[in-house]
Amino acid sequence: MKSAHIRVLIVLAIFTLVGIIGTQVFWLNRAIEQQDQVFNHNVQVALRNVVESLCEANGKDFPTVNPIEQVSGNYFIVRTNDRIDLANLEYLISAEIKKRSISQDFEYGVYDCANDQMVYAENVNLSGENSVDVIPVLENEEYYFGVYFPEKSRNLFASFDLWKFTTIITLVVIIFFGYALFVILRQKRLSEVQKDFINNVSHELKTPLATLSLASSTLIERSTKNDNKYLKIIQDEVNRLQKNVEDILRSSLLDSRIQVEMETLQVMNFLKELINQFKNEYAAQMVSWSMQGSAPQGIRTNKKLLENIIKNLTENAVKYGGKKVEFKIDQDTKKTFITITDNGQGIGEKYLKKVFNKFYRIPETHNQHNQKGFGLGLQIVESAVKKLGGKIELTSQVNVGSTFKITIPNG
Rounded to whole angstroms, the Cα distance separating 303 from 266 reads 10
- Give the dihedral sign, CA 397/401/403/404: positive
Could you count the other beta carbons within 10 Å of the beta carbon of residue 376? 21
Amino acid identity of residue 373, one-letter, is G
Q: Taking 60 as the threshold, does the pLDDT of residue 368 lie above it?
A: no
Q: pLDDT digit string (tens) for 266-305?
A: 999 999 999 999 999 888 888 999 999 988 889 999 888 8
pLDDT for 366: 41
Question: Looking at residues 193-213, what average pLDDT do you find?
Answer: 68
- Whether the Cβ atoms of residue 320 and residue 373 lie closer than 8 Å to each other: no
HSE at residue 108, side-chain half, CA atoms within 13 A, is: 21
- With both helix axes pointing from N to C terminus, report the angle between 377-387 and 225-255 in degrees, rounded to the nearest 10: 40
- Whether the Cβ atoms of residue 235 and residue 223 lie closer than 8 Å to each other: no
Q: Taking 70 as the threshold, does the pLDDT of residue 255 lie above it?
A: no
Query: Considering the chain, what is the average pLDDT of its residues?
Result: 80
Domain architecture of the chain: domains with CATH: 3-158 (no CATH), 186-255 (1.10.287.130), 263-409 (3.30.565.10)
Strands 288-293 and 324-331: parallel
- Whether the Cβ atoms of residue 108 and residue 122 lie closer than 8 Å to each other: yes
Rounded to whole angstroms, the Cα distance separating 152 from 106 reads 9
pLDDT band for 337, please (50, 70, 90 cuts): very high
Amino acid identity of residue 370, one-letter, is N
Greater model confidence, 148 or 360:
148
pTM of this structure: 0.50
- What is the phi-psi region of residue 346: left when phi exceeds 0, alpha when psi lies from -120 to 50, beta otherwise? left
Q: Taking 80 as the threshold, does the pLDDT of residue 42 lie above it?
A: yes
Q: Taking 80 as the threshold, does the pLDDT of residue 40 lie above it?
A: yes
pLDDT band for 90, please (50, 70, 90 cuts): confident
**Picking from 102-111, 261-270, 303-312, which range would have the lowest pLDDT averaged per residue?**
102-111
pLDDT for 134: 47
pLDDT for 369: 45
